[in-house]
Amino acid sequence: MIQSAEELKRAAAELALDFVAPGMRLGLGTGSTAAHFVDLLGAKVRAGFKVVCVPTSERTRLQAQSLGIALATLDELPQLDLTVDGADEFDDSLRLIKGGGGALLREKIVAAASTRMVVIADESKHVETLGRFPLPVEIDRFGARATQLQVEAAARELGLSGPVDMRRRGEAPFVSDGGHFILDCGFGALPDPEALAARLVAIPGVVEHGLFLGMASAVVVASAHGVRTLGQAGG
């Protein structure tokens, strides 16, 4: 019987391997769940399986490299067949919150360049309404405080409130692979994620937000009762 969170993540990652065909151009996600997938893919590659992968973060690039997985940049491979990535939250409509690990911008660029995005997660990430996990919003370093005020104002217009915190690593602000800051927005339940997404992208200092809407084609979710797939991984 599957028990620990790590076992659940690995079980989801294992099932997602079924969606990978030889010769595919693959996007590799970031985070502890995606790391299980990369690890399992590495074992397949060692056994002779051929794929070329584009990592969504430096962390994932280093892991994949250490496992001997063939890598390319997104400039070299601008169209991908499939991206497999984790998520901080997903709902029944396969809408996601991502960015807990700070990789949301590259993750979204890579997912958008992929024909399909398959998300792997344990059941704890499944929510009725997105927003339990504070929404990460990646912002330019220039004028960060001004951008933060605009994010807060935009949320208020939509009837949302709650702390907007600059993500920190120790004393200093956290800096993403792209060199940006991240705001963690604890707005609580997001009844209209599409409206919030539209409002956030209209703020000039916002580089990207962690709402992935209409991007995932399937979520492979592992619980103590087994692993199931929501949505369609094909087509």
Ligand X SMILES: O=C[C@H](O)[C@H](O)[C@H](O)COP(=O)(O)O
- The binding site consists of 30-33, 85-88, 98-101, 125
- When binding is defined by CB under 6 A, the residue of 27, 29, 131, 193 that contacts ligand X is 29
Exposure b/e, 72-103, CB count within 10 A at least 16 = b: eebeebeebbbbbbbbbbbbeebbbbbbbbbb
**Binding flag, residue 134, ligand X (CB under 6 A):** no
Which residue, 98, 82, 103, is CA-closest to 212?
98
Residue set of the binding site for substrate: 30-33, 85-88, 98-101, 125
The window from 64-72, 97-105, 152-160, 201-209 that contacts ligand X (CB under 6 A) reads 97-105
User: Given the structure tokens 């996007």, which residue do they identify?
Assistant: 27
> The tokens of 198 are what?
């539209």
Going from the C-alpha of 180 to that of each of 142, 145, 158, 207, the distances in angstroms are 9, 13, 25, 8
The window from 11-19, 24-32, 46-54, 68-76 that contacts ligand X (CB under 6 A) reads 24-32
**Binding flag, residue 88, ligand X (CB under 6 A):** yes
Question: Could you tell me how many residues of this chain bind ligand X (CB under 6 A)?
Answer: 18
**Binding flag, residue 124, ligand X (CB under 6 A):** no
Gap between the Cα atoms of 224 and 1, Å rounded:
7
Q: Which of 6, 14, 76, 107 is flagged as catalytic?
A: 107
Which string of x and - marks every residue 30-49 that binds ligand X (by CB under 6 A)? Answer: xxxxx---------------
**Binding flag, residue 27, ligand X (CB under 6 A):** no
Which residue, 200, 156, 215, 208, is CA-closest to 182?
208
> Which residue type, as a one-letter code, is found at position 54?
V
The window from 15-23, 46-54, 76-84, 103-111 that contacts ligand X (CB under 6 A) reads 103-111
**Binding flag, residue 55, ligand X (CB under 6 A):** no
Q: What count of other Cβ atoms lies within 10 Å of the Cβ of residue 14? A: 16
107 is catalytic: yes
Residues that are catalytic = 107
Binding site for ligand X (CB under 6 A): 29-34, 85-88, 98-104, 107
